[in-house]
């Protein structure tokens, strides 16, 4: 593409265009004046009349050259702007624009050029953003794999060296880290399916109120160990079509995230609301909530408002990204509210 733009810039020669316009005007004018002079000679003009005719012809020739020069100047200037923009783009300046406004072929070419460069700039911005996300993904995965692997290695070395006085406790720690690694790999696999567009929601009848009750009951020991209370509010059945396993995973992730960010002695409230057009699940905790500047990117993979704090709490930054992918695959949406307090809602349509 850059080579093509360079060729376009080299082909746009305003000086050559001006010479071509002037040459055409001079040739046309000379032809017309020669015809007039020949016709005048055929009429047997006198000497004075012939001299007057020559003066008129010379004046007309000069006027034609001046007019041709004046008419070609705006065209040459616009072509010069287009050529300059093409050279800047060829040198890597994708912000360059010709900015030529004309109601002719030159104006149409300049508009097409500006549109092409705008698309190139957008493509480059997307490529840069994707490259940045790829580097972040690799760094985040590396960090989240390194921590449990280091703990497993330390435990295994302690057992091998005979310094583990309570091997059962060390093995339980290894099992915990292996479970953490398994969850992380499962999350990465699911996220890869979502990003590739290969994740499809099922069409089973799922009662979201029952899913919330089951998730809250499963996470009750986790909440108790963190001194956090769980409260579920639901009015009757809340049936949607989808996949119970995936929707239940989303609900558990949201509850687990709320428990980890709620303060000791705090609470997490789960509200299930069923309407004519869908079911809404809202998870509310009385922790610090989402920072205003973080809300916009909270649904991106590996997003953390505070990297050190979230990693120490065990979060890989995938929960909300997976929640968005699964919920959107079910035709729903995820909404996050600013603090104080964390508030995340998911809405699933009835059909």
Instruction: Residue 243: give its domain's CATH number.
Output: 3.30.565.10
Say whether both 220 and 153 belong to one domain.
Answer: no
CA distances from 16 to 11, 20, 74, 76 (A): 10, 6, 14, 9
Domain count, the chain: 3
CA-CA distance, 118 to 101, in Å (whole number)? 17
**Residue at 124 is within a domain:** no
List pLDDT tens digits, range 144-165: 788 788 888 888 888 888 887 8
CA-CA distance, 340 to 286, in Å (whole number)? 7
**Residue 330 CB contacts under 8 Å (≥ 6 apart), including other chains:** 201, 240, 241, 242, 243, 247, 348, 349
The winner for highest mean pLDDT among 5-19, 43-57, 116-130 is 116-130
The winner for highest mean pLDDT among 79-83, 123-127, 273-277, 345-349 is 345-349
pLDDT over threshold 60, residue 215: yes
CA 45 to chain centroid, in Å, comes to 80
Say whether both 345 and 208 belong to one domain.
Answer: yes
Say whether both 245 and 147 belong to one domain.
Answer: no
**Residue 226 CB contacts under 8 Å (≥ 6 apart), including other chains:** 259, 260, 262, 264
CA-CA distance, 75 to 69, in Å (whole number)? 10
Note the pLDDT of residue 297.
56
- How does residue 313 score in pLDDT terms, banded at 50, 70 and 90? very low
Note the pLDDT of residue 308.
40
CA-CA distance, 171 to 250, in Å (whole number)? 30
Say whether both 240 and 190 belong to one domain.
Answer: no
- Which of 42, 70, 96 terminates a domain? The answer is 96
**Residue at 119 is within a domain:** no
Q: Which residue has the higher pLDDT, 105 or 125?
A: 125
pLDDT over threshold 70, residue 346: yes
Q: Which residue has the higher pLDDT, 260 or 195?
A: 260
Note the pLDDT of residue 309.
38
Percent of the chain exceeding pLDDT 90 equals 7
Note the pLDDT of residue 25.
61
Range of the domain at 235: 204-349
Q: How far does the chain reach from its first CA to its final CA, in angstroms?
A: 47
Give the CA diameter of the chain.
132
Say whether both 181 and 237 belong to one domain.
Answer: no
- Average pLDDT over the chain, rounded to an integer: 76
**Residue at 104 is within a domain:** no
- How does residue 271 score in pLDDT terms, banded at 50, 70 and 90? very high
- How does residue 270 score in pLDDT terms, banded at 50, 70 and 90? very high
CA-CA distance, 290 to 268, in Å (whole number)? 15
- Which of 195, 228, 246 terminates a domain? The answer is 195
- How does residue 129 score in pLDDT terms, banded at 50, 70 and 90? confident
List pLDDT tens digits, range 273-289: 988 888 999 999 888 77
Q: pTM of the entire structure?
A: 0.57
List pLDDT tens digits, range 17-66: 556 666 666 666 666 666 666 655 555 555 666 666 667 667 766 776 67
CATH number at residue 189: 1.10.287.130
Note the pLDDT of residue 54.
65
Note the pLDDT of residue 245.
87
Say whether both 219 and 339 belong to one domain.
Answer: yes
Note the pLDDT of residue 82.
78
CA-CA distance, 341 to 183, in Å (whole number)? 27
Burial class (CB in 10 A: 0-12, 13-18, 19+), 89: buried
Note the pLDDT of residue 26.
64
**Residue at 117 is within a domain:** no
CA-CA distance, 96 to 254, in Å (whole number)? 46
Say whether both 186 and 216 belong to one domain.
Answer: no
The winner for highest mean pLDDT among 53-57, 76-80, 225-229 is 225-229
Q: Do the beta carbons of residue 345 and residue 279 sit within 8 Å?
A: no
Say whether both 208 and 327 belong to one domain.
Answer: yes
**DSSP letter (8 states) at residue 312:** H
Q: Do the beta carbons of residue 179 and residue 218 sit within 8 Å?
A: no
Burial profile 8-18: b = 16 or more Cβ within 10 angstroms, e = fewer: bbeebebeebb
Say whether both 77 and 9 belong to one domain.
Answer: yes
CA-CA distance, 283 to 296, in Å (whole number)? 18
Nearest in space to 61 (alpha carbons), one of 19, 101, 31: 31
pLDDT over threshold 80, residue 250: yes
Nearest in space to 234 (alpha carbons), one of 216, 212, 256: 212
Say whether both 227 and 307 belong to one domain.
Answer: yes
Q: Hey, how many other C-beta atoms are within 10 angstroms of the C-beta on 206?
A: 22
**Residue at 282 is within a domain:** yes
Please report, for the chain, how many H helices and E strands are present, in that order.
10, 7
Note the pLDDT of residue 236.
80
**Residue at 78 is within a domain:** yes
Decide: helix, strand or coil at residue 99: coil
């Amino acid at each position: 593409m850059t080579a093509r733009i360079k060729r376009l810039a080299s082909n746009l020669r305003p000086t050559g265009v001006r010479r071509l316009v002037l040459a055409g005007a001079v040739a046309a004018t000379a032809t017309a004046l020669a015809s007039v002079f020949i016709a005048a000679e055929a009429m047997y003009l006198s000497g004075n009349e012939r001299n007057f005719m020559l003066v008129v012809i010379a004046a007309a020739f000069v006027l034609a050259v001046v007019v041709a020069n004046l008419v070609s100047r705006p065209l040459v200037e616009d072509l010069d702007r287009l050529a300059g923009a093409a050279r800047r783009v060829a040198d890597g300046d994708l912000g360059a624009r010709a900015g030529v406004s004309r109601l002719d072929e030159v104006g149409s070419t300049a508009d097409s050029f500006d549109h092409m460069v705008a698309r190139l700039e957008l493509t480059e911005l997307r490529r840069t953003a994707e490259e940045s996300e790829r580097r972040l993904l690799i760094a985040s995965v590396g960090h989240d794999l390194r921590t449990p692997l280091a703990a497993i290695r330390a435990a295994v070395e302690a057992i091998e060296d005979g310094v583990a006085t309570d091997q059962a406790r060390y093995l339980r720690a290894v099992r915990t880290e292996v479970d953490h690694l398994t969850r992380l790999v499962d999350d990465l696999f699911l996220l890869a399916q979502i990003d590739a567009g290969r994740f499809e929601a099922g069409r089973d009848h799922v009662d979201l109120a029952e899913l919330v009750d089951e998730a809250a009951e499963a996470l009750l020991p986790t909440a108790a160990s963190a001194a956090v209370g769980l409260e579920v509010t639901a009015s009757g059945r809340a049936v949607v079509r989808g996949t119970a396993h995936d929707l239940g995973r989303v609900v558990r992730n949201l509850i687990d995230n709320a428990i980890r960010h709620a303060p000791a002695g705090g609470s997490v409230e789960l509200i299930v609301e069923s309407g004519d057009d869908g079911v809404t699940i809202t998870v509310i905790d009385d922790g610090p909530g989402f920072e205003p500047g973080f809300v916009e990117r909270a649904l991106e993979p590996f997003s953390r408002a505070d990297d050190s704090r979230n990693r120490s709490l065990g979060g890989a930054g995938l929960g909300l990204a997976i929640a968005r992918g699964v919920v959107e695959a079910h035709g729903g949406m995820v909404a996050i509210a600013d603090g104080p307090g964390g508030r995340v809602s998911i809405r699933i349509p009835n059909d």
